[in-house]
Structure 1
Amino acid sequence: MLATSAVQAAITVSDSRGEHQLTATPQRVVVLNWDLAEQVLELDVQPIGVPNIPGYQEWVVQPAMPDGVADIGTRTEPNLEKIAELKPDLILAASPQKDLIPRLEALAPVLYYETYNQSLNSAEAAIDNFRKLAIVFDKAALAEQKLSAMSERFSALKAQLHQAYNGQPPRVVAMRFANQTSVYLYSQNSTTNYALTQLGLTPAMPLPATEWGIVQKRLMDLQKAGDSYVLYFKPFHEEKQLQRSVIWNAMPFVRAGHVNSVASVWNYGGAMSIRYIAEAMADSLLAIAPNPPAVKQDGQD
């Protein structure tokens, strides 16, 4: 049964499987995937349990994970005993935990939200799930406020980039390093690609949709980017070694000074991650623009 602080009427909610009835607004939620953890935190809901919190703090970063949240193992193998001890009144699961749903339902009601799938536009799915979760937690007004602010932020950043690049926004390759010899490029259904288009930018090496919105390529394949702008997301722990790579330094975009790192943001996250991705990429591009702004953008409204 769902815990309640007051008597409430049952509410109808929806997830990727359909509609469900909850007896009340959840008060104790365990979240099994980072994108969903981000979504509920953005709704001003503090989960009682989240997997691999140190990893979240390194890779996701925003929004910050509050103190006092229990670490419940890994995303693929959450600790079911620990979850039971937390006495949740709701568990949120995503595709990495789909096979666990029958066992999880023995502990508490489960809502399942799918965001990353080859047939989905991940950004649109993340926004849709954000709205669905807002209904679950009675935060619909807050969700719409944040989505509206995100749209306004996109417009402001687009205008800044247009000016900084003298009316000719650059073609961009957004990527992560797998290691010093291979990279992950973002495909057309990724949240990163969506953020690029919201900034008025064009992917320099467009790729078809994939499950997670990424395609692994050899480092040498980046030659096809020519002198387009290349942005690589942190963390990348071999960055110093890369700067000494003959192959890397021979790339046309490196020779042209058209490359920069991007602050750590989560490219497989929820709705607000799209804003953070856009802000981080815009900051990176503005720093190497032909006509950079006088004051560095701080990512604030």
Structure 2
Amino acid sequence: MRTRRAFIATVVTLAAASSACGTTEAPAGPAPEASGPPVSVVDSRGKEVRLEHPAARVAATEWNAAEYLVSLGVMPAAVSDVRGYGEYSSAAPLDASVADIGTRGEPSIDALGSLDLDLVVVTGDLPEGALEQIEAKVPVVVIPGGNAQDPIGSMFSNVDLIAQATGTQDAAARLKSEFDAKVQAGRAAVRQAGMSGRPVAFADAYATAGSVTIRPYTRGSLVGAVFERIGLPTAWEMEGDPAYGLAQTDVEGLTKLGDVPFWYNATSGDPFAENLAGNPIWTNLPFVQKGEVHLLPGELWTFGGPKSMERFVDAAIAAVQA
């Protein structure tokens, strides 16, 4: 189960390892033509980043930034862990021209410097030293990975910032309009199904040596906030982490939920179906007894952008109509 993780390697280690991280091939086909007036944006550090023109060749070291770019109509020149992105973020696919720049936690600085980029978008997870190394080669905009205080607002703030840097403000406005329309349709479907206002528990899980760890998506999570927008508040009472609204529990922790629908997604295996099938605590939970356990499609990415969240609305509608 992939999780967001901080870049914990030291700058010295990063510099030494960068030559082995990812590939440095230039994208196939002609490079996007850069044009337009100078651009100035202020990123999440409060730093003003000045560009000679709207960025056309952009790299993303995190998948949320990559999805924002694709959704805005800017195919990234390079992304960390291209294959992994394709497995998790199906709402905004990359094309074959996108170069791989290593792992999300340890992108190749040498590769970033060799791709003739206008801009690199990173999250605040990168340590300051590594950020300085990248900025010595190419302009950098930093966005927050998440914000549990306002997950939807933070998502669109990121979209707007990248749109300003790439000159795609009209596309950003369309993304917001499409998202709002999807939420409105989801709210109507939930109301028609008689589910409006009923709490729902959404989670994922992973198994280690037969032990299942469950990750509740609390009210501070992006998915939890989207479900609440369509009339399905979270049943989780616990606090999540300040960035992504994720918490942690075990099967005993599920007994606190009561009689609520339980929704989950699974990308690598299905610990609920495979590891808990014979667990008496699991099998005696009210939602298991009543058949209100619903597996949402595994290709939905819980940390994605507006297009991924629209797919979660579709999945919620399918669940309440099942």
- Tell me which interval the TM-score lies in, with the shorter structure as reference length: 0.7 to 0.9
Paired positions, count: 283
- Tell me the alpha carbon deviations over residues 187-235 of structure 1, each in whole angstroms, 9 at most, x when there is no partner: 2221111111111112112333523210010122111222200000121
1:65 aligns with 2:94: yes
Matches within 5 A, 1:71-110: 71-99=100-128, 100-110=130-140
| Partner AA of 1:176 in structure 2 | D
Report the residue type matching 1:278 in the other structure: V
* Structure 1 partner of 2:260: 228
User: Quick one: which of 184, 190, 195 aligns to 2:215?
Assistant: 184
Match of 2:277 among 244, 261, 267: 244
For structure 1, the 5+ residue unaligned runs are 288-301
- Answer yes or no: is the 8 Å Cα contact 1:175–1:183 preserved in 2: yes
Q: Determine the structure 2 residue equivalent to 1:11.
A: 39
Q: For the Cα contact (< 8 Å) 1:186–1:207, is it kept in 2?
A: no
Q: Does the 8 Å contact 1:185/1:214 carry over to 2? A: yes
Per-residue deviation at 1:280?
2.2
Q: Which whole-Å CA distance do the structure 2 matches of 1:22 and 1:6 have between them?
A: 11
SS of 1:272 mapped into structure 2: helix
CA contact (8 A) 2:294 2:319 kept: yes
Letter paired with 1:245: G
Identify if the C-alpha distance between structure 1 residues 117 and 168 changes in structure 2 by more than 3 Å, giving closer, same or farther. closer
Residue identity opposite 2:274 in structure 1? Q
Confirm or deny: 8 A CA contact 1:30 1:49 kept in the other structure: yes
Cα separation, 1, equivalents of 2:147 and 2:153: 12
Q: What is the letter of the counterpart of residue 93 of structure 1?
A: V
Please give the secondary structure, in 1, of the residue aligned with 2:231: coil
| Contact map agreement 2:222 2:244 (CA 8 A) in 1 | no
- Name the CA shift for 1:255/1:4 in 2 (closer, same or farther; >3 Å): closer
Residues 21-48 of structure 1 show CA distances to partners (whole Å, capped at 9, x for unaligned) of: 2110112111100000000000010111
Identity of aligned residues (%): 25
What is the DSSP-based 3-state SS (H/G/I as helix, E as strand, rest coil) of the residue aligned with 1:184? Answer: strand
| Residues 161/6 of structure 1: CA separation in 2 closer, same or farther (3 Å cut) | closer
**TM-score normalised over the length of structure 1:** 0.87
2:142 aligns with one of 101, 104, 112:
112
Closer/same/farther in 2, CA of residues 6 and 151 from structure 1, 3 Å limit: closer
Aligned mates of 1:216, 1:76 — CA distance in 2: 22
Which residue of structure 2 lines up, in the alignment, with residue 30 of structure 1? 59
What letter corresponds to residue 233 of structure 1 in structure 2? N
1:166-181 aligned at under 5 Å gives the runs: 168-179=196-207, 181=212
Structure 2 length normalisation: TM-score?
A: 0.82
2:277 maps to amino acid: R
* Residue aligned with 1:20, SS: strand
1:271 paired to 2:288 = no
Partners of 1:7 and 1:72 in 2: how far apart? 25
Q: Who is 1:216 aligned against?
A: 248
